[in-house]
A and B are shown apart, each in its own frame.
Chain A
């Protein structure tokens, strides 16, 4: 290290190096510990977060193709959205990862109501969620989160870090706040969706059935 770096610059330097070298999400505490061990300075995780912000501002200013992101509670470098077309060519396999409507619906119920039991999920959706829950468990988007204290001690489900990662969330607090009903019903999109549904579902009598 060159001796003329200020303590802040030294921190940024170290944070950038650590995040760059790690291909798994790196927790702020771990970064702080590593920096503290080398420099002897007392670094708080908040200091790391501030450093990440400074680094990202710098990448922004110089139009870099990547930023430091904090999905699933850890820092990682990720390419920016504008670079996606290039990356898709070589890493197209990620497009296979689509989630069906029933999986998304089930996931939403688990995410917002967690920890939640299967009967509760079933009740909200009005359908059995066995298959969807099993499938989400397999994809490691949902995990068992203990047992409820209610009668029969049913299993509780919650979301995983992988869920946060794949949905670009740092913590569960960053989940988009569900909108209030009246707001939803007044939304013009509501009417548009209705029109879409009608177009989809009221084919002329002779039209061939839509492929599933």
Chain B
């Protein structure tokens, strides 16, 4: 029956789930699992891991159980049964069976929870819509919600101003501004107090504005400066970040 049997490991939550599947499929007594047969089937299924793009963690979990099964199989082959401290024979399968049984219970509990979850979704409490909205809105500390787009649109507005200030000349020049220089410039200006971005680059050309903007982004990412949006969508304020 194993020859044309194909298993997709993605469909199982893990090695225990896969083992449980074999137990159920073959109507085995979970307390008396034919370990040799299960180990073979399990290994055959796990070999498919190579072919599957399973992530390493998941593969490791499956392989760990494969090793465990082989170990149990080996111990079952020992001529003399193992005994515990009291001299009682020990079934090498015992631990695995206990784990399987525990897993079955939680799997069942998960199914019951799923039923409850669905039933509960058919009831709509007052205020639920508002509640949901709140939950899926990112908490923002400032009063105005801004996105990267606001930042970029502020840049383009500033660039438009810079373009207006710049006479039309068509010469190709090497980049005159460097990021680390602009970073130092921004920090030195802000050291004298908070400043708006427009004022920071007032009267300068495009290259200066762009390099300075990049420097600001870089500093903001390093959390060296704070970017504050006010009501003017075309500009934003900058201040040195307070030391944490």
Contacts and interface: CB of A to CB of B under 8 A. Distances in A.
Interface string B86-100: 000000000000010
Interface residues of A, number: 61
B30 interface: yes
B49 to A, nearest CB: 13
Interface string B54-74: 000110010001000000000
Nearest to B130: A23
Contact of A200 (B11, B99, B112, B130): B11
Contacts of A185: 30, 104
A166 B120 contact: yes
B107 interface: yes
Contacts of A112: 106, 109
Contacts of B103: 124-126
Grouping DSSP codes into helix (H, G, I), strand (E, B) and loop, the A interface class, with mixed when no group exceeds half, is: helix
Contacts of A193: 24
B48 to A, nearest CB: 12
B105 interface: yes
Nearest to B18: A126
B25 A198 contact: yes
Contacts of A178: 105-106, 108-109
Contacts of B127: 22-24, 76
Contact of A104 (B104, B105, B113, B132): B113
Contacts of A210: 8
Contact of A91 (B108, B114, B128): B128
Nearest to B30: A185
B3 to A, nearest CB: 10
Nearest to B7: A201
A193 B108 CA distance: 12
Contacts of B111: 104
A178 B124 CA distance: 27
Interface of B: prevailing SS? helix
Interface in B116-132: 116-117, 119-132
B25 A197 contact: yes
Contacts of A77: 125-126
Interface string A121-157: 0011111101000000000100000000000000000
Given A78-B125, A108-B106, A181-B105, A168 B119 contact: yes
A59 interface: no
A84 B105 CA distance: 31
A194 B131 contact: no
Nearest to A126: B16
Contacts of A128: 57-58, 61
B205 interface: no
A20 B99 CA distance: 48
A83 to B, nearest CB: 8
Given A108-B106, A201-B11, A167 B130 contact: no
A105 B107 contact: yes
B112 A126 contact: no
Nearest to B14: A127
A91 B119 CA distance: 16
Contact of B8 (A24, A79, A93, A209): A209
B21 interface: yes
A-B complex: 3 closest residue pairs judged by Cβ atoms: A23-B127, A127-B14, A168-B120
Interface of B: 4-8, 10-11, 13-17, 21, 24-25, 27, 30, 57-58, 61, 65, 99, 101-114, 116-117, 119-132, 135
15 contacts: A23-B125, A76-B125, A81-B119, A87-B124, A91-B124, A101-B13, A101-B110, A125-B16, A125-B103, A127-B58, A166-B117, A167-B116, A181-B101, A202-B5, A203-B6
